Structure 1
Amino acid sequence: MLDPRDLRAVADTRRCAANVRARLRGQPELPALHDLAAQLVELPHLVDDITRCIGEDDTVLDTASPELRRLRGLLRTLAGRVESTARSVLGRLAGTGAVQDEVVTLRSGRYVIPVKTTHQGRVEGIVHDRSSTGATVFIEPVEVVRLNNELRETELAERDEVERILRALSGLVAAEVDLLDSNLRLLAIFDEARARGRLSARLAASEPLLDEDGVWDLREARHPLLAVRSDLSVVPNTIKLGGDYTTLLITGPNTGGKTVALKTLGLLTLMAWSGLHIPAEAGSRVSLCPNVYADIGDEQSLEQSLSTFGAHLKQLVHILAEAGPGSLVLLDEVGAGTDPVEGAALAQALLATLHERGCRVMATTHHGSLKAFAYATDGLENASVEFDRHTLRPTYRLLIGIPGASHAFEIAAGLGLDPAVLELARTLLPGGHAEASQLIADMQTTQQQLAAELRSQQHEAAGVSHQRRELERERQRLRERETEIREAAEREGREKLAEVEREARGILRRLRSAEREGVRTENARRQLRRLSERVAAPPTPPAPTHEVPTTLQRDDQVRLVKLGNIGHVVTVEGDRVQVQVGRARLSVARADLELVQSAAPAPPPTKRGVNVSATWASEVELHLRGETVDDALIKLDRFLDQALLASLPEVRIVHGKGTGALKRAVHDFLRGHAQVASYAHPPEALGGGGVTVAKLR
């Protein structure tokens, strides 16, 4: 039988499944999660039954069953009666000194009153308890025994009813256990996906490219445990392995970041294998290597009698026994913990063996001889962690291609070691060591300068890219504005045309009416001509907001009106001008430029207008074949109005021969039209009886 808390958990899980299903149902852009969400099963009847019976505080509600509601109501009634009766007994004892406190309390689930031991004989009843001092006994007065019995029996009945309800609900859950288990597994997948997404956002991570050729290219990578901390400013590093070299040997001072770089490569590889985004720039590559082996840290063990060197050696024995082609091997302080000469020889042999097997190796060391080994061996590459010789502090930047130095003398001097001791130490160095250290230091300085210059160029390139994007957005805005203006002009033209047509029809109606009455129509005809002229008149062009240069020549300084940038002219090709702005060369319309020193007056804008007469003049023939008489006459009336506005001398009306009904209707209409001077059929070669030519006044 499940307890109320378990049942509430079942209901909450079902509600969670419903929320996930609803949230992802409308997001087809997440196909994998969308398809999984579709597999979630909703069990509304089960949840309704549980929420009806179990409250938010994990108790069984009165609404769980009518019997439970009745029993709990009876419990409240009986409890009130028992307490009231007990208080009446207390009231009788008040003032006698027999009562310790005038309160009704519970002992062993029954209502009792506290009575002083010395007055116990004054109260007839059952003793249930005694105080720790023995001064008070808790007596159930005989007056409440029967009521307490009824109350206890009702409590037992209520307990049995609660158990019956919980068993019934547990049975419902058991019947759906397979579906609930399936939902739980799916919700675990969604929970994991959400956790992955939140971690990716927190790390500002990106999706890695998985490489099958044994190549790592981690761009601006950060150690995930450092990247997740908001109180640290993490120095990112680009780490490459595979390709031109399969072994990377890192040297440099202690606490300079060698081990962090080693762990970054290993952790990001494991994160990528686990399907996580990695804290590196987009486009970073991670190899799908078969295995990862690592010997990092001091694993000395007193229990196993292992020294630092012994602990390292035990791990190296395991790596040599297991690592194969393509395996990633990470070695921290290889060859340390023993005689430097022997340790360096052992480390060199180990690196050579792993290299010959085709392993991908990244190792850190302080052995100077290994730098020369890496330099002289194909497929091995030196690297170092950068050290600022002015501040005597590491910068934590990884420099691939340059061996590192320990900078022991510089650090010792910075910490105040006696200069005489330092000078003596320098004289004890083997020949050529100082020159080699200085050469490495000079190489690092050059590397720093080149890196600074590269960052500056990248910054400038980013600025140019930003300007290009801004220009492209401006071009897009101009294109959209041009479209808006063109559409507005066309819309205005259509509205104007419709207005003119309405006015023209009104004038023509007045003309017909006047001519039928024999009135002269010169005034109406003048209105018609003025209307036609108004239609053909071009709109007043907007005033320019700046002076457009009429002549431009090379090296003229100009301002880009839309952007406000100042540049100089490179070439002029018609209305297009090549302008140099900083490092960017832009092609700009002449109209978008303004001379900085002087400006020529703007050329008059090209006039635009709507020539309605020219448009209508081409419509000299109307085809009515196949039309009903009513539709044909409506089209004929509109056609004649347009022809009169265009001042056409005559028009052709093609009505066909057929039964002759349409021809007769056309002739009747023309005969009654005030602006039709005459009409007739053309020669047979031009249509004969199927065409009528109408001459207009």
Structure 2
Amino acid sequence: MRAAILEKLSGIMDGLKKQSMVMEDLITIRNERYVIPLRHDYSSHIKGITHDYSRSNKTAYVEPLAVVDENNTLNQIRSDIKEEELGILRDLTSLILAHGEAIRENLEVYGQLDLIHASACWAVKHDAVIPGLSEEGVEIEGARHPVLLERLGKKRTVPLDIRMPRDKNCLIISGPNAGGKTVALKTLGLLMLMAKSGLAIPAKESSVIYPVGAIWVEMDTNQDIQHGLSSFTAHALSLKRIYEGLAEGDLVLLDEPGTGTDPAQGAAIAVSCIDAYRKKGARVIVTSHADLIKLYGLSSPGVENAATAFDDSGLRPLYRLQYGMIGQSRAFDILTSIDFPREILREAEGIASREGGSALAKAMEDMACTASLKEQAARDAEQAAIFREKAEQAYQEMEREKVEFSLRYRRLMERVEELIRKPRPKERIERVRASEEAREIEAVLENVEPARVLEVQPGSSVILKGTGARGRVVDVSRDQAEVLMGDKRLKVGLDQIEAAATDEDRKQERVRVRSRVSSGYVFPVKVVGMRVDEALPLVEKAVDQALVSGQPQIEIIHGSGTGRLKSAIREYLKGLGVVKGISDSPMSEGGGNKTIVMFEAG
């Protein structure tokens, strides 16, 4: 029927073309009926029904009367076909309705299978792995951001090592702009969500995560015009919602918290929020440029610091995390790398230098000085322990020798007393005098003053060892002496007393002791917090003692402060001819907070 209508209309159009009535050589459809486009004044040449006009009203879409019956028949056929189709669809719908529950369950299974298949294909494509679960913390090695992995590929996506041990519940990431801080934060959040959803993560097989509860994210907060909120207010409301909904075991991701207001107040609010979240049992990952937040990471237990690596030579970020370090913002370096106007940059650097060092820099300098002093104290304590052990060993050896010599000399005295009581042949006396013990006593008497115990005799002034109490000897026996102390008589062993030294002896003894002390090892001289006129005498005394003892160098701890004390000490040292060199200590021992003074040999 359709072909017959089209053939008849083509014949009609061929006849009208000769009369220039056809506007376009085209058979078209209007109101589901075949029509031909004719000039609007067609009625004098052919009879038909007009179904539509063009926009310009120059073309009329006409159904010639010759095809009206055929069009009616075609529409009737169409209506019958449609009615039949509707009947078939009703029957099919009834069948589906009867098995609706089974079909719904099958669709859910098909959806799950499709998800598993898609997840497996993605994991194979990107070498993703199923991470291990552990209560020990987070240890994700070679982590890659899933979106960057899709966009850039595995070779161009820089892997990250993200870790937070069990004894840490906070990680503070700092570093330059565009250094990868936020990417690291998002990578961790996405990978934790993927693992929580049962998906493989793009990381190494050794990666381990802990069972996490909810994951809270606060980043990229924009101004809320619709609700009349500033960026800071919207940011604060987000932090509030996190605090109110947070539970133990949750993970909180904060990107640059405390921004949008006064930097000092904003950083204080951020630190308070971080601490509050941790007290509720959550783990917190933070990115920040704020010195106060970095100081919180340095001074708070359970907090890990990490910095995004930066190439100092190329002035570009390396997109890696360095743990145990604090990153610098390096705003001036970043601006230099993008050819920022040099005159503006110079002005900014000048303003920054006039403002002086940041609180973080001063705190780190003080911490370095403290660490240096702590290490020095540990070394001194270790050395003192060694000296004490050696002294203990020497004391035990001296006690052993004392007992041995006491027995030997006691036997010698017994032989001498026997010779005194009963005269013996001269040969016997010579044998006693030639004995090893007698020769040792003669040698001692020639080189040193006699032991004070040998000076104890009736009438001598003596001192009771260990008490300092003085008395006078009344009588002396073989190994005891009777001493009058006030109105009391005491019998004491000869080894418990010694002859009292004269004033001249005591003076010489004090001189000898002072000499021995002054020639000992000079420990680091600490003058932190002193004025120049207070510190220089101590430095001068330390130099003198070091030279007397032959010490090759000494250390002077003066701290940083304004630098005036350090400059004055070094000016003084430069004027000494015995000083070979002056330098800062290594950074691990305090850097510029400590001066190393080296002396000329001899």
TM-score by length of 2: 0.50
Deviation at 1:239, TM superposition (A): 1.0
Query: SS state of the match for residue 387, structure 1?
Result: strand
Deviation at 1:248, TM superposition (A): 1.2
Deviation at 1:320, TM superposition (A): 2.2
Residue of structure 2 aligned with 1:257, choices 165, 180, 186: 180
Distance 1:364 1:86, change over 3 A: closer
Equivalent residue runs for 1:359-508 within 5 Å: 359-411=282-334, 415=340, 416=342, 422=349, 425-426=352-353, 428-430=355-357
In the alignment, the residues of structure 1 paired with residue 358 and residue 61 of structure 2 have an alpha-carbon distance, to the nearest angstrom, of: 100
Asked if structure 1 preserves the Cα contact closer than 8 Å seen for 2:311 and 2:317, the reply is yes
Deviating more after overlay: 109-118 vs 366-375: 109-118
Residue of structure 1 aligned with 2:144, choices 195, 208, 222: 222
Q: Deviations over 1:412-462 (max 9, x none)?
A: 666535658636633531489668779999xxxxxxxxxxxxxxxxxxxxx
In the alignment, the residues of structure 2 paired with residue 307 and residue 135 of structure 1 have an alpha-carbon distance, to the nearest angstrom, of: 62
In the alignment, the residues of structure 2 paired with residue 362 and residue 436 of structure 1 have an alpha-carbon distance, to the nearest angstrom, of: 23
Residue equivalent to 1:139? 64
Q: Deviations over 1:394-416 (max 9, x none)?
A: 11111111122223454466653
Residue equivalent to 1:313? 236
Distance 1:87 1:383, change over 3 A: closer
Asked if structure 2 preserves the Cα contact closer than 8 Å seen for 1:117 and 1:135, the reply is yes
Q: Deviations over 1:635-670 (max 9, x none)?
A: xxxxxxxxxxxxxxxxxxxxxxxxxxxxxxxxxxxx
For 1:237, give the aligned amino acid. L
Deviation at 1:306, TM superposition (A): 3.4
Query: SS state of the match for residue 173, structure 2?
Result: strand
For 1:140, give the aligned amino acid. L
Structure with higher RCO (Cα < 8 A, 6+ apart): 2
Root-mean-square deviation (Å): 4.3
Residue of structure 1 aligned with 2:201, choices 273, 278, 282: 278
Q: Sequence identity of aligned pairs in percent? A: 33
Whether 1:354 and 2:296 are equivalent positions in the alignment is no
Distance 1:99 1:194, change over 3 A: same
Residue of structure 1 aligned with 2:255, choices 305, 327, 332: 332
Residue of structure 2 aligned with 1:292, choices 215, 219, 235: 215
In the alignment, the residues of structure 1 paired with residue 177 and residue 113 of structure 2 have an alpha-carbon distance, to the nearest angstrom, of: 43
Query: SS state of the match for residue 402, structure 1?
Result: coil
Residue equivalent to 2:458? none
Equivalent residue runs for 1:112-151 within 5 Å: 127=49, 132-133=57-58, 138-141=63-66
For 1:333, give the aligned amino acid. E
Query: SS state of the match for residue 254, structure 1?
Result: coil
Asked if structure 1 preserves the Cα contact closer than 8 Å seen for 2:16 and 2:22, the reply is no
Asked if structure 2 preserves the Cα contact closer than 8 Å seen for 1:98 and 1:120, the reply is no
Asked if structure 2 preserves the Cα contact closer than 8 Å seen for 1:402 and 1:440, the reply is no
Q: Deviations over 1:186-228 (max 9, x none)?
A: 21112211222233234432112233x2721111112222222
Query: SS state of the match for residue 220, structure 1?
Result: strand
The gaps in structure 2 that reach 5 residues or longer are 369-602
Asked if structure 1 preserves the Cα contact closer than 8 Å seen for 2:249 and 2:282, the reply is yes
Asked if structure 2 preserves the Cα contact closer than 8 Å seen for 1:252 and 1:384, the reply is yes
Equivalent residues, number: 359
Whether 1:345 and 2:268 are equivalent positions in the alignment is yes
In the alignment, the residues of structure 1 paired with residue 292 and residue 132 of structure 2 have an alpha-carbon distance, to the nearest angstrom, of: 36
Q: Deviations over 1:602-623 (max 9, x none)?
A: xxxxxxxxxxxxxxxxxxxxxx
In the alignment, the residues of structure 1 paired with residue 61 and residue 276 of structure 2 have an alpha-carbon distance, to the nearest angstrom, of: 89
Whether 1:207 and 2:130 are equivalent positions in the alignment is yes
Q: Deviations over 1:661-688 (max 9, x none)?
A: xxxxxxxxxxxxxxxxxxxxxxxxxxxx
Query: SS state of the match for residue 228, structure 1?
Result: helix
In the alignment, the residues of structure 1 paired with residue 358 and residue 28 of structure 2 have an alpha-carbon distance, to the nearest angstrom, of: 97
Distance 1:309 1:440, change over 3 A: farther
Residue equivalent to 2:108? 185
In the alignment, the residues of structure 2 paired with residue 266 and residue 432 of structure 1 have an alpha-carbon distance, to the nearest angstrom, of: 31
Residue equivalent to 1:687? none
Asked if structure 2 preserves the Cα contact closer than 8 Å seen for 1:222 and 1:237, the reply is yes
In the alignment, the residues of structure 1 paired with residue 331 and residue 69 of structure 2 have an alpha-carbon distance, to the nearest angstrom, of: 94
Asked if structure 2 preserves the Cα contact closer than 8 Å seen for 1:116 and 1:137, the reply is no
Asked if structure 1 preserves the Cα contact closer than 8 Å seen for 2:294 and 2:360, the reply is no
The gaps in structure 1 that reach 5 residues or longer are 1-74, 442-697
Asked if structure 2 preserves the Cα contact closer than 8 Å seen for 1:249 and 1:365, the reply is yes
Whether 1:239 and 2:166 are equivalent positions in the alignment is no
In the alignment, the residues of structure 2 paired with residue 420 and residue 150 of structure 1 have an alpha-carbon distance, to the nearest angstrom, of: 89
Asked if structure 1 preserves the Cα contact closer than 8 Å seen for 2:37 and 2:59, the reply is no
Distance 1:217 1:175, change over 3 A: same
TM-score by length of 1: 0.44
Query: SS state of the match for residue 65, structure 2?
Result: strand
In the alignment, the residues of structure 1 paired with residue 152 and residue 216 of structure 2 have an alpha-carbon distance, to the nearest angstrom, of: 30
In the alignment, the residues of structure 2 paired with residue 312 and residue 113 of structure 1 have an alpha-carbon distance, to the nearest angstrom, of: 67
In the alignment, the residues of structure 2 paired with residue 83 and residue 343 of structure 1 have an alpha-carbon distance, to the nearest angstrom, of: 80
Distance 1:438 1:157, change over 3 A: same
Deviation at 1:136, TM superposition (A): 9.1
Distance 1:438 1:422, change over 3 A: farther
Asked if structure 1 preserves the Cα contact closer than 8 Å seen for 2:254 and 2:285, the reply is yes
In the alignment, the residues of structure 2 paired with residue 422 and residue 287 of structure 1 have an alpha-carbon distance, to the nearest angstrom, of: 45
In the alignment, the residues of structure 2 paired with residue 107 and residue 423 of structure 1 have an alpha-carbon distance, to the nearest angstrom, of: 80
Deviation at 1:120, TM superposition (A): 5.9
Deviation at 1:174, TM superposition (A): 3.7
Q: Deviations over 1:476-501 (max 9, x none)?
A: xxxxxxxxxxxxxxxxxxxxxxxxxx
Query: SS state of the match for residue 229, structure 1?
Result: helix
Residue equivalent to 1:23? none
Distance 1:129 1:325, change over 3 A: closer
For 2:302, give the aligned amino acid. G
